[in-house]
Amino acid sequence: MPSNAFYAQSGGVSAVINASACGVIETARKHASRIGRVYAGRDGIIGALTEDLIDTSAEDRSAIAALRHTPGGAFGSCRYKLKGLEENRAQYERLIEVFRAHDIRFFFYNGGGDSMDTANKVSQIGERLGFPLVCVGIPKTVDNDLSVTDNCPGFGSVAKYIAVSIREAGLDVLSMARTSTKVFVLEVMGRHAGWIAASAGLAGKKPHEPPHIILFPEITFDEAAFQARVKECVERYGYCVIAVSEGVRNPDGKFLAEAGTRDAFGHAQLGGVGQVVAEMIRRAHGYKFHWALADYLQRSARHIASKVDAEQAYAVGKAAVQLAVAGENAVMPTIERVSQKPYRWRVGSAKLADVANREKKLPGSYITADGFGITPACRRYLEPLIQGEAYPPYEGGLPKYVQLRNKAVRKKLGTRFAL
Amino acid sequence: MPSNAFYAQSGGVSAVINASACGVIETARKHASRIGRVYAGRDGIIGALTEDLIDTSAEDRSAIAALRHTPGGAFGSCRYKLKGLEENRAQYERLIEVFRAHDIRFFFYNGGGDSMDTANKVSQIGERLGFPLVCVGIPKTVDNDLSVTDNCPGFGSVAKYIAVSIREAGLDVLSMARTSTKVFVLEVMGRHAGWIAASAGLAGKKPHEPPHIILFPEITFDEAAFQARVKECVERYGYCVIAVSEGVRNPDGKFLAEAGTRDAFGHAQLGGVGQVVAEMIRRAHGYKFHWALADYLQRSARHIASKVDAEQAYAVGKAAVQLAVAGENAVMPTIERVSQKPYRWRVGSAKLADVANREKKLPGSYITADGFGITPACRRYLEPLIQGEAYPPYEGGLPKYVQLRNKAVRKKLGTRFAL
């Protein structure tokens, strides 16, 4: 007799997390002898805790297929980290209670490092409570900071968006620099790891091509060196395009964004780090500037998703189910780089325990000696990840994204659970 | 004997202004008996004043063809408005001097309302100085605020970018709203006219679909009504997505962005209007927010250009040359809407005098009674303009944009001209 599966999206969503969902659901449907229904958590793991499950079998084939090109989290995601096993055992016991009530024996958790940790714990507690579950993590993070896997689904599309945007805005600024804006700053995501900032570097290969400066969270901000470089760029190329990670820190360890700048009256000015950096330049050199804050646009931009990324996102969803039906427990599919040129990859797997809570930062060898650019090694690593376009279908000039019915599964437990 | 043509890009560039340049150059090459070489002004009209001309005949056919899908201003543009004829006659005389030296009898000026005014004046002064020129304006403005023409090349692509971005970011926020961001604000361009803000409205058709609120420069900001609407959206839909024009003003007539907000210490906080609005909401309701500032990204995003827009941009460049060789002077090609469904358009023409310095704002009938949305009439007007995708070619995961050689024409005048 088949038993059911639970799938949940966790943490910040991406342009391709639904492609992973699609991989899970389509593959599960092919293993009907082992997996009955795939229930999704409404708003992530919260859906499991509150017994608010979505019956994905109520969606027809074309709606599920459309997940492959739809950004955001189709079932809802959440920022809700389960506590430690001993700290809040009740949460884990509740999960098992709900899973038991709905005959859920497969647990698929689609998220980043924290989520892999949670999936690992769920696997342990199931065992202990006499309700063994097959728990498989599915990697997803735009930050690309998961260890063990060569790269992480979600990242390649952000990288492509940022590189394309820098190239395009760079041409704009170049045309106007003589009489107008000379400095353009794009603030990008990545509070702890500079992978997204590094991807801006793909936009240009030669020194005169934007971005002229990248500020990484891994490199302590050195204002004097930075200002000198900005001046040099403007004098040499006529303009300066900068990509700055939201996670850049001052020598005192504070985020540059938080440190802020002071106005003429000594008052702190708040704002994104892009604005802080741009204002700083204006004060030092008087250059006219513009700045942009891509924010959620960068991680939801399915219209310019990387084909490689979209395919890998689907593949890890598919592989998760294959691993599960093969009886592999407490594992996560990974992306392995088989060859560099031509780029070839395959899906491997890793123990959740080896992935959980380990953050992969940009290695020192990927950042140029001056701290303002990416090395050829970094470029070689990043380039394959933005290859190919995976355009969504359009209708009336706009991408045709699916919104699922998200039909609720009838509750079997009378109990409520306080989050 | 053919004489030469001068072409210049003026003001802020767009994703498709080079498509107009392509239309001019390709069409001029077909009229070799009338037009010798097309000289482009380096950095716009400044190139004419300083006798810094670019010989476009040095570019091969494929490079010129690639302009059709390359954003920014390939020859450079500038923000440099010629003064009134009587105020600074020397500027106009200098133009004629340079044109005479290089046997330039055709003047193509690719820009907005100010530029059409300049082109008109150049036409008049040529006549008076005994050097008659055929002056043709070519419409370009992302703001869509040119009169006479049904719409303006450059706008449709920004409109598409904004509508797509709102749709995508909306899906992102929707998935996370339960435990994270509930309010998302996207700041868009348009200091005086709300056309770009209105285009955000294309992203959704039903009340629950983003954007839930649009703030137009044409509507005085009413904070109480706005805050009530935000609350209503969050309570009804779980989230609220807002598009705000940089030009929104308070009842006192000041830009909301300039008015700023005050922090806990009463200090003015600077920032974009998007940030001002987002902070205002957080204070009133405590909702977690994110905001984005697309800035130049929106007007350079050739990767998601509207096909209709790209085609119209080319068409007005082409028509400008056709008008010129037909002896039409002091005119501008326009876009005429022939039919609505199916959308059909053709190129017409208007007198520069009728276009110059007249700003077309969003009509009252395009804004809903509450001031927060677009009407069906507005949607009918806007929808055709974002139709079709005109993807650029890609190489290595990135759009392959052309950078011209921009070979200088040998100077014939020994004189310098102070800008």
Cβ atoms within 10 Å of B191's Cβ, excluding its own: 13
pLDDT reading at A263 higher than 70: no
The per-residue pLDDT for A269 is 44
Give phi and psi for B218, each to the nearest 5.
Answer: -75, -15
Long-range contacts of B278-282 (CB under 8 A, 24+ apart): B278/B183, B278/B185, B280/B223, B280/B227, B281/B183, B281/B185, B281/B227, B281/B230, B282/B183
Q: Which residues of B touch A174 (CB under 8 A)?
A: 72, 76
Question: Which segments of A188-262 does DSSP mark as H helices, in order?
Answer: 195-200, 223-237, 256-259
Secondary structure element (H or E) that encloses residue A355, with its range:
helix A352-355
Residue B254 to residues B204, B217, B295, B362, Cα–Cα distance (Å): 30, 11, 21, 19
pLDDT reading at A268 higher than 60: no
Measure in Å the smallest separation between the Cα of A48 and chain B Cα atoms. 14
From the list B187, B111, B192, the residue with the least C-alpha distance to B152 is B111
CA A382 – CA A150 distance, rounded (Å):
11
Q: Which residues of A touch B295 (CB under 8 A)?
A: 169, 290-293
Whether B3 contacts B67, CB under 8 Å: no
Residue B347 φ/ψ region, left for φ over 0, alpha for ψ in the -120 to 50 degree band, beta for the rest: beta
- HEC states along chain B? CCEEEEEEECCCCCCCHHHHHHHHHHHHHHCCCCEEEEEEECCCHHHHHCCCEEEHHHCCHHHHHHHHHCCCCCCCCCCCCCCCCCCCHHHHHHHHHHHHHCCEEEEEEEECHHHHHHHHHHHHHHHHCCCCCEEEEEECCCCCCECCCCCCCCHHHHHHHHHHHHHHHHHHHHHHCCCCCCEEEEEECCCCCCHHHHHHHHHCCCCCCCCCEEECCCCCCCHHHHHHHHHHHHHHHCCEEEEEECCCECCCCCEHHHHCEECCCCCEECCCHHHHHHHHHHHHHCCCEEEEECCHHHHHCHHHCEHHHHHHHHHHHHHHHHHHHCCCCCEEEEEEEEECCCCEEEEEEEEHHHHCCCECCCCHHHECCCCCCECHHHHHHHHHHHCCECCCCEECCEECCCCCCCCECCCCCCCCCCC
Whether B49 contacts B83, CB under 8 Å: no
Residue A249 to residues A188, A222, A227, A276, B25, Cα–Cα distance (Å): 14, 9, 16, 12, 49
Q: What SS3 class is residue A203?
A: helix
Whether cis (ω within 30° of 0) applies to the bond prior to B211 is: yes
Average pLDDT over residues B226-240: 98
Q: Name residue A38's amino acid.
A: V
The per-residue pLDDT for B211 is 98
User: Is A394 within 8 Å of B389 when comparing Cβ atoms?
Assistant: yes
Average pLDDT over residues B272-283: 92
The rounded Cα A249 to chain-centroid distance in angstroms is 21
Arithmetic mean of pLDDT over chain B:
94
- How many residues are listed for chain A in this entry? 419
Per-residue exposure over A299-309, b if at least 16 CB sit within 10 Å of its own CB, e if not: bbbbbbbbbbb
Secondary structure element (H or E) that encloses residue A276, with its range:
helix A273-285
User: Could you report the per-residue pLDDT of A149-167, keeping only the tens digit for each?
Assistant: 999 999 999 999 999 999 9
pLDDT band at B263 (very low <50, low <70, confident <90, very high): very low
Q: At what angle do helices A155-176 and A307-325 cross, to 10 degrees?
A: 170
CA B288 – CA B230 distance, rounded (Å):
12
pLDDT reading at B227 higher than 50: yes
The nearest alpha carbon in chain A to B81 belongs to A179
HSE-up (13 A, CA, CB side) for residue B306 = 33
Q: Which residues of A touch B203 (CB under 8 A)?
A: 398
Neighbour-count burial of B314, counting CB atoms closer than 10 A to its CB (0-12 exposed, 13-18 middle, 19+ buried): buried
DSSP string, A44-102: THHHHHTT-EEEGGGS-HHHHHHGGG--S-TT---------TTTTHHHHHHHHHHHHHT
Does B160 contact chain A (CB < 8 Å)? yes
Q: Which residues of A touch B171 (CB under 8 A)?
A: 70-72, 300, 401
Q: Name residue B56's amino acid.
A: T
From the list B150, B151, B154, the residue with the least C-alpha distance to B140 is B154
User: Is B269 within 8 Å of A270 when comparing Cβ atoms?
Assistant: yes
Whether A318 contacts A168, CB under 8 Å: no
The per-residue pLDDT for B265 is 46
Tokens encoding A241 = 């395009």
User: Is A292 within 8 Å of B291 when comparing Cβ atoms?
Assistant: no
pLDDT reading at A379 higher than 50: yes
- Enumerate helices (H) and strands (E) in chain A, giving the number of each: 14, 15
Least confident of A24-38, A97-111, A266-280: A266-280
The nearest alpha carbon in chain B to A342 belongs to B396
Least confident of B58-67, B260-269, B372-381: B260-269
User: Is B168 within 8 Å of A74 when comparing Cβ atoms?
Assistant: no
CA B165 – CA A296 distance, rounded (Å):
9
The closest CB to that of A303, out of B175, B304, B383, belongs to B304
Cβ atoms within 10 Å of A223's Cβ, excluding its own: 13
User: Could you report the per-residue pLDDT of B337-357, keeping only the tens digit for each?
Assistant: 999 999 999 999 999 999 977
Q: Which residues of B touch A244 (CB under 8 A)?
A: none
Distant-in-sequence, close-in-space partners of A102: CB < 8 Å, separation ≥ 6: A4, A6, A39, A53, A409, A412
Please name the residues between 274 and 303 in chain B that touch chain A, using a CB distance below 8 Å.
Answer: 275, 290-297, 299-303
User: Could you report the per-residue pLDDT of A384-410, keeping only the tens digit for each?
Assistant: 999 999 999 999 999 999 999 999 999
Farthest CA pair distance, chain B: 73
Distant-in-sequence, close-in-space partners of A268: CB < 8 Å, separation ≥ 6: A260, A261, A262, B263, B267
The per-residue pLDDT for B83 is 84
Please name the residues between 11 and 50 in chain A that touch chain B, using a CB distance below 8 Å.
Answer: 12-13, 15, 43, 46
The per-residue pLDDT for A265 is 46
User: Is A175 within 8 Å of B265 when comparing Cβ atoms?
Assistant: no
Whether B138 contacts B20, CB under 8 Å: yes
User: Is B398 within 8 Å of A43 when comparing Cβ atoms?
Assistant: no
CA A198 – CA A208 distance, rounded (Å):
17
Name the pairing type of β-strands A3-9 and A104-111. parallel
Residue A376 to residues A148, A160, A373, B400, Cα–Cα distance (Å): 22, 18, 10, 20
User: Is B269 within 8 Å of A265 when comparing Cβ atoms?
Assistant: no
User: Could you report the per-residue pLDDT of A208-257, keeping only the tens digit for each?
Assistant: 999 999 999 999 999 999 999 999 999 999 999 999 999 999 999 999 88
The per-residue pLDDT for B81 is 86
Q: Which residues of B touch A72 (CB under 8 A)?
A: 168, 171-172, 174-175
CA B307 – CA A2 distance, rounded (Å):
50
Measure in Å the smallest separation between the Cα of A167 and chain B Cα atoms. 8
Pick from A49, A275, A296 the residue to mutate for testing the B interface (most B CBs within 10 Å). A296
Does A99 contact chain B (CB < 8 Å)? no
ipTM more than 0.90?
yes
Average pLDDT over residues A171-184: 96
The nearest alpha carbon in chain B to A183 belongs to B296
Per-residue exposure over A241-267, b if at least 16 CB sit within 10 Å of its own CB, e if not: bbbbbbbbbeeeeebbbebbbeeeeeb
Farthest CA pair distance, chain A: 73
From the list B91, B173, B170, the residue with the least C-alpha distance to B419 is B91
Question: Which segments of A177-209 does DSSP mark as H helices, in order?
Answer: 195-200
The nearest alpha carbon in chain B to A166 belongs to B297
Give phi and psi for A2, each to the nearest 5.
Answer: -70, 150
Name the pairing type of β-strands A344-351 and A240-245. unpaired
Query: Which of the residues A143, A222, A252, A309 is marked catalytic?
Result: A143
From the list B149, B203, B190, B67, the residue with the least C-alpha distance to B335 is B149
User: Could you report the per-residue pLDDT of A302-334, keeping only the tens digit for each?
Assistant: 999 999 999 999 999 999 999 999 999 999 999
From the list B9, B10, B13, B11, the residue with the least C-alpha distance to B298 is B13
User: Could you report the per-residue pLDDT of B165-223, keeping only the tens digit for each?
Assistant: 999 999 999 999 999 999 999 999 998 999 999 999 999 999 999 999 999 999 999 99
CA B215 – CA B242 distance, rounded (Å):
8
Measure in Å the smallest separation between the Cα of A207 and chain B Cα atoms. 15
Arithmetic mean of pLDDT over chain A:
94
**What percent of chain A has pLDDT above 70?**
97
pLDDT reading at B267 higher than 60: no
Q: What SS3 class is residue A346?
A: strand
Average pLDDT over residues B227-232: 98
pLDDT band at B259 (very low <50, low <70, confident <90, very high): low
Q: Which residues of B touch A169 (CB under 8 A)?
A: 295-297, 300
Q: Which residues of B are catalytic?
A: 143
Q: Evaluate the CA torsion angle B298, B299, B300, B303 in order and state its sign.
A: positive
User: Is B168 within 8 Å of A290 when comparing Cβ atoms?
Assistant: no
Average pLDDT over residues B274-288: 94
